[in-house]
A and B are shown apart, each in its own frame.
Chain A
């Protein structure tokens, strides 16, 4: 059974640029959630995708957007990067909505300069 994978591992971008992060869900999982974790804090929910539709969103601006593909993999896109977007971005997959257990990938560490 393949776990959740994410790419790239690390990324350095300049303020104002755009970035795309990728996530492959665990085998058999149809739901992907994205979280942002700033240094020293717990992860914060960005949004969730279920069967290629966004079905829940946290307090993040529209420049954070995403996609889910038919194979349930997902992308997180962030436009007009700001310095405060520097964080660890975590992807989680699950069999469905609450209360299914979520499994996390290793994360992508984004640095915005």
Chain B
């Protein structure tokens, strides 16, 4: 089945710094989602981005489907950005099963 790898596994930043998180996937996809999991476990939708670039405030994402990777950019990080960031791609088997990477654990210190 499709494999999803995220890097780096852990990231520590000072408030105000910028960062780039990477998601590699092993097969063609028709969908890719980025999530932020807060300390209470809630998965918050950041981007639905099968291809191209999207921006939402301080966050932006780019997916290059032909090269099988996606990037999540966080600019001017804040302590509230702390948590785990997951990317997920669908299993192309006719139902909406998402396959998640292991996540990037981000800690932003004041």
Interface residues of A (CB under 8 A from B): 31, 33, 35, 37, 41-45, 48, 50, 55-56, 58, 88, 90, 92, 94, 96-107, 109
Query: In the complex, which of the residues A88, A99, A106 contacts B30, with contact meaning CB atoms closer than 8 Å?
Result: A99
Nearest Cβ in chain A — how far from B83, in angstroms?
Answer: 13
Nearest Cβ in chain B — how far from A71, in angstroms?
Answer: 19
Give every chain A residue within 8 A of B95 (Cβ-Cβ): 48, 50, 55-56, 97-98
Given known A99-B31, A101-B48, contact A42–B94 (CB-CB < 8 A): no
Most buried by B among A33, A41, A99: A99
Dominant SS among interface residues on chain B: loop
Give every chain A residue within 8 A of B94 (Cβ-Cβ): 55-56, 97-98
Interface residues of B (CB under 8 A from A): 30-31, 33, 35, 40-43, 45, 48, 50, 86, 88, 90-103
A-B residue pairs, 7 tightest by C-beta: A56-B95, A42-B100, A99-B31, A104-B43, A98-B90, A101-B48, A45-B97
Given known A102-B33, A106-B41, A109-B41, contact A94–B96 (CB-CB < 8 A): yes
Give every chain A residue within 8 A of B93 (Cβ-Cβ): 56
B42 and A31 contacting across the interface, CB-CB below 8 Å: no
Give every chain B residue within 8 A of A41 (Cβ-Cβ): 102
A107 and B103 contacting across the interface, CB-CB below 8 Å: no
B33 and A42 contacting across the interface, CB-CB below 8 Å: no
Nearest Cβ in chain A — how far from B103, in angstroms?
Answer: 6
